[in-house]
Homo-oligomer: A and B are copies of this chain.
Amino acid sequence: MSHREILSSITVSLAERSYPILLGRGLLADLSVHLHSHLKKLSHVLVIIDEHVAKALGDSIQASLVQADGAALLRVSYYVVPSGEKSKSIEQLAQLWEFMSAENCDRGSVVVAIGGGVVGDLAGFAAASFARGLRFVQVPTTLLAQVDSSVGGKTGINLSRAKNMVGAFWQPSLVLIDFDSLASLPAREFNAGLAEVVKYGMILDATFFEWLEANVTAIKGRSLDALTHIVARSCELKASVVAADERETTGLRAILNYGHTFGHAIEALSGYGNYLHGEAVSIGMTMAAKLACSLHMIDESIVNRQTALLHSLDLPIDPPHIPFDLFWAAMQKDKKVQHGKLTFILPDCIGSVKGVNDISATQVSAAIS
Contacts and interface: CB of A to CB of B under 8 A. Distances in A.
Interface of A: 41, 43, 90, 94, 97-98, 101-102, 104, 106-108, 125, 128-133, 154, 156, 159-162, 165-169, 247-248, 332-333, 335-340
A161 B108 contact: no
A130 to B, nearest CB: 6
The 7 closest A-B pairs by CB, nearest first: A43-B339, A108-B339, A131-B335, A90-B94, A101-B159, A106-B337, A101-B161
Contacts of A161: 98, 101-102
A43 B340 CA distance: 8
Contact of A108 (B102, B128, B338): B338
A41 B335 CA distance: 16
A90 B97 contact: yes
Nearest to A16: B249
Given A90-B94, A106-B338, A338-B106, A133 B43 contact: no
B159 A97 contact: yes
B130 A166 contact: yes
7 contacts: A43-B339, A90-B94, A94-B94, A97-B165, A101-B160, A133-B169, A133-B247
Secondary structure type dominating chain A contacts: loop
Contacts of A248: 132
Nearest to A102: B161
Nearest to A125: B129
Contacts of A335: 106-107, 131-132
A271 B1 CA distance: 52
A210 to B, nearest CB: 34
A237 to B, nearest CB: 21
B132 A167 contact: yes
A23 to B, nearest CB: 27
Nearest to A91: B94
A199 B340 CA distance: 46
A333 B90 CA distance: 23
A9 to B, nearest CB: 26
Nearest to A164: B132
A104 B162 CA distance: 10
A107 B166 CA distance: 12
Given A101-B160, A130-B165, 12 more contacts: A41-B338, A43-B338, A43-B339, A94-B94, A101-B162, A108-B340, A129-B156, A129-B168, A131-B165, A132-B154, A132-B247, A168-B168
